[in-house]
Amino acid sequence: MIQQNDFSLKQSTLELFKKQFRQLPNIITRSPGRINIIGEHTDYNEGFVLPAAINRYAYIAVGERDDNLIHLYAVEYTELLVFNLNDLGQKKSSWTDYIIGIVDQLKQTRCKLNGFNLLLDSDLPIGAGMSSSAAIECATIFALNDLFKAKISKLSMVKMAQKAEHTFTGVQCGIMDMFASVFGKQNQVIKLDCRSLDFAYMPLLMGSKQMLLLNTNVKHSLASSAYNERKQQCEQGVAWVKEKYPEVNSLRDITIEMLNLMVAPKDPIIYKRCQYVIEENNRLLTACEALKKGDLVTLGRLMFETHMQLSKLYEVSCKELDFLVKQVKKYPSVLGARMMGGGFGGCTINLVETTAIPALVQILKPAYREATGLDLSVYAVGVTNGTETLINNTC
């Protein structure tokens, strides 16, 4: 079923490209979205994260041009936008930023570029906290790397995609989303140390359980300062601790005792933010131990705990996310649940007994509509491989 779906999306991307640009694409790539089991808002604090790539993708098809123009077409928006390689302009707050941000990064390498046609197709919901933007960036950089034979390593592409997000969308995001999109592996989660970028795969042994995503359909606007504000608050906390402990570099090096001494007297909000990050890193380490032992009950409990603290200490939840977590907590078939990603909307991730899913969804959908006036979307996702080139006619 999934393979059929994958095949037809690749095929339709090819056909749509042919129709739009009257040429065959040289390259088609696809890059997955991601879930994150636990470890939220820890990546930009040099902490740990536990993401996995999921079987929903951004597809990018590219074809050469013999001028300096960049023609971009997104199937979802049925719009064609034209840029000039020599003058990319500024951020436009549109889907094109993710692609132009990558071109801007490539221009800073020694690689020789030319104009190109590009088509974007995707089955990843936008703004749902599944990292559709990172998927677009990673699929684009893989495609252009192949098209222009730039020979950039996977890790460098991840870093360039993150930089593109910083410069072209203005979100000072961490590295988790791009890393998971590129380095994802079937049925494995990635335990990533965001300081050293060392990582290890761990099997996601789910037994009779499954990860279920519930989309609030509240669009999160990460760029809307709150994300960047959290990052600055964490940095302020580190700066205050550093006054007495110059050896610390990030919240990774800081203990609650240090916070009590150096941050508590200065600012209760910054204290809460830092406390959350320190505790979340510890929760992740405990969660990894639980996952290794197949102890999903402990994992689930830790997920609930993360949600509570994201909501109370880090204050990045919203009433729709809180409602969903509170509702599912009533059911013994749900072992754990929490908001996922940047916050202020998007999805919750739920660890659920597979056989209980249909009945749960049947109860939740009308309850959610009644409480919020919004529709609830449900995704049962599989864990998959990272960015791939599906067609390459340049060799």
When the beta carbons of 258 and 339 are compared against ligand GLA, the nearer one is: 339
- Would you state the torsion angle of the CA atoms of residues 182, 354, 346, 202, taken in this order, to the nearest 10 degrees? -30
When the beta carbons of 18 and 163 are compared against ligand GLA, the nearer one is: 163
Pattern 104-133, ligand GLA, x by CB under 6 A: ---------------------------x--
- Give the DSSP H or E segment for 63: strand 51-64
> Closest separation between CB of residue 342 and ligand GLA, Å?
4
- Report the C-alpha gap between 83 and 69 in whole angstroms: 6
* Helix, strand, coil fractions of the chain, as percent rounded to 5: 45, 20, 35
Catalytic residue, candidates 97, 146, 177, 375: 177
Interface stretch with ligand GLA, choices 14-22, 40-48, 62-70, 89-97 (CB under 6 A): 40-48
> Closest separation between CB of residue 172 and ligand GLA, Å?
9
Residue 342 within binding range of ligand GLA, rule CB under 6 A: yes
> Closest separation between CB of residue 341 and ligand GLA, Å?
4
DSSP 8-state symbol, 220: P
66 a catalytic residue: no
Residue 137 within binding range of ligand GLA, rule CB under 6 A: no
- What count of other Cβ atoms lies within 10 Å of the Cβ of residue 279? 15
Cα dihedral sign for 98, 35, 55, 326? negative
> Closest separation between CB of residue 36 and ligand GLA, Å?
6
Q: Which residues contact 58 (CB under 8 A, 6 or more apart)?
A: 30, 31, 33, 120, 121, 122, 124, 132, 135, 136, 138, 139
Residue 341 within binding range of ligand GLA, rule CB under 6 A: yes
Residue 345 within binding range of ligand GLA, rule CB under 6 A: no
Helices (H), 208-356: 226-244, 256-262, 268-293, 296-309, 319-328
Tokens of 35: 């879930």
- Report the C-alpha gap between 383 and 367 in whole angstroms: 29
> Closest separation between CB of residue 175 and ligand GLA, Å?
7
Interface stretch with ligand GLA, choices 11-19, 41-49, 211-219, 246-254 (CB under 6 A): 41-49
Helices (H), the chain: 2-21, 96-107, 132-147, 154-164, 176-183, 226-244, 256-262, 268-293, 296-309, 319-328, 357-372
Residue 41 within binding range of ligand GLA, rule CB under 6 A: yes
User: Which residue in 110, 33, 22, 120 sits closest to 80, CA to CA?
Assistant: 120
Query: Which residues within the stretch 197-236 sit at the binding site for ligand GLA (CB under 6 A)?
Result: none
Binder of ligand GLA out of 177, 280, 305, 320 (CB under 6 A): 177
Interface stretch with ligand GLA, choices 18-26, 39-47, 147-155, 255-263 (CB under 6 A): 39-47
Interface stretch with ligand GLA, choices 36-44, 201-209, 281-289, 373-381 (CB under 6 A): 36-44
Question: What Å distances lie between residue 269 and 51, 236, 252, CA to CA?
Answer: 28, 11, 19
Binder of ligand GLA out of 44, 83, 95, 314 (CB under 6 A): 44
> Closest separation between CB of residue 177 and ligand GLA, Å?
5
Binder of ligand GLA out of 25, 40, 168, 345 (CB under 6 A): 40
Residue 174 within binding range of ligand GLA, rule CB under 6 A: yes
By annotation, the residues acting in catalysis are 177
Q: Which residues bind ligand GLA (CB under 6 A)?
A: 40-41, 43-44, 131, 173-174, 176-177, 341-342
